[in-house]
Amino acid sequence: MKNILITGATSGIGKQIATVLSADNDLFLSGRRKLDKVNYYACDLVDMFEIETLYNKAIEYFNSDIDVLINCAGQYIYKPIEKMSFDEISYLLDVNFKSAYILSSLVIEGMKKNNWGRIINIGSISGVVGEANASLYSATKSAFNGFSKALALEVATNNITINTINPGWVETPLAQNALNQEERQEVIDITPQKRFVEPIEIANLCKYLISNSAKGITGQGINICAGLTCGC
Ligand SMILES: NC(=O)c1ccc[n+]([C@@H]2O[C@H](COP(=O)([O-])OP(=O)(O)OC[C@H]3O[C@@H](n4cnc5c(N)ncnc54)[C@H](OP(=O)(O)O)[C@@H]3O)[C@@H](O)[C@H]2O)c1
């Protein structure tokens, strides 16, 4: 039984991760929408003060340290670089990457004290292979690569692992909003396995990565993309 904090837990991938991990762990969840649950805090992760409050609420709920942090909250912006506003640039960097970095900085002390911890970042294959018209999104996701490797080295002797899961297209509200019917079919056509990735595949990998069997996996980016990064 571990104390697990999951961001982006109200929808899509994060919601499925919460469902799978709730079977044998204690969870504290967050998203922006209002939900009436004792183990939930609604906040916008663009706000640094709110991130700290989220951390404090989780600690208060567990009455103990956080063993596992899953940074799943994120948004997608698809447009050419010259159309990106300064506000959008700051916003996406803050929500997709800075919030995960700050939360990691907050949980790491307790993990070191307990000589055990797991941090999982939900990246994207757009941060592995790049995606035209998603340069900002790709940048926020590839940031997890350097972050995971560097932090993995920093805490390698503390029994703490840091990894990034890079999904391909997953059928969630994010993907449904980003793709029209024609684009959805294109995704299926260009994906070697001719399908979307399912949220459960990502949730099950999280379950494995937090287990002791995965203690040697650290600083890695693991692609679950139905073959999309393999080439053609
Ligand atoms: N779907 C894909 O094809 C795909 C592929 C690769 C990577 N990913 C990544 O997987 C993660 C989850 O995506 P998803 O597909 O599950 O999307 P989703 O269904 O839209 O869920 C996004 C989650 O993030 C939360 N969130 C968004 N902006 C936030 C903010 N400013 N502050 C706090 N919480 C915020 C949402 O909370 P509310 O809904 O309550 O506002 C929601 O819980 C994201 O990081 C995404 O980049 C997705």
* pLDDT value of residue 232: 74
For the segment 9-19, the average pLDDT, to the nearest whole number, is 98
Q: How many CB atoms lie within 10 A of CB 85?
A: 10
231 band by pLDDT with thresholds 50, 70 and 90: confident
Q: Using a pLDDT cut of 70, give the percent of the chain over it.
A: 100
In three-state secondary structure terms, 30 is strand
In short, whether 110's Cβ falls inside 6 Å of ligand 1 is no
Distance 6 CA to ligand 1 centre (A): 11
Q: Using a pLDDT cut of 90, give the percent of the chain over it.
A: 98
In short, whether 178's Cβ falls inside 6 Å of ligand 1 is no
Closest CA to 100 of 119, 78, 76: 119
DSSP 198: P
Q: What is the pLDDT of residues 116-170, one digit of tens each?
A: 999 999 999 999 998 999 999 999 999 999 999 999 999 999 999 999 999 999 9
Q: Which residue's structure tokens are 């995960």?
A: 100
| Distance from chain centroid for Cα 227 | 20
Mean pLDDT score of the chain, rounded to an integer? 97
Q: What is the pLDDT of residues 68-88, one digit of tens each?
A: 999 999 999 999 999 999 999
In short, whether 117's Cβ falls inside 6 Å of ligand 1 is no
For the segment 173-192, the average pLDDT, to the nearest whole number, is 95
pLDDT score of 229 more than 80? yes
**Residue owning the nearest CA to atom 2 of ligand 1:** 170
Instruction: Judge contact between 220 and 161, C-beta under 8 A.
Output: no
**Residue owning the nearest CA to atom 43 of ligand 1:** 8
Closest CA to 4 of 59, 75, 73: 59
In three-state secondary structure terms, 59 is helix
Q: What residue ranges do the domains of the chain occupy?
A: 3-170+199-224
Cα 219 from Cα 152, distance rounded (Å)? 5
Q: Which residue's structure tokens are 């900002």?
A: 136
Radius of gyration (Cα) for the chain, nearest Å? 17
List Cβ neighbours of 74 (8 Å cut-off, separation of 6 or more).
8, 95, 96, 122, 124, 140, 141, 174
* pLDDT value of residue 2: 98
Q: What is the CATH number of domain 3-170+199-224?
A: 3.40.50.720
Catalytic residue check, 137:
yes
| 211 token code pair | 């287990």
Instruction: Judge contact between 29 and 10, C-beta under 8 A.
Output: yes
Beta bridge partners, 223, equal: 166
Q: Which of 172, 183, 205 to mutate to test the pocket of ligand 1 (most atoms within 8 A of CB)?
A: 172
For the segment 5-11, the average pLDDT, to the nearest whole number, is 98
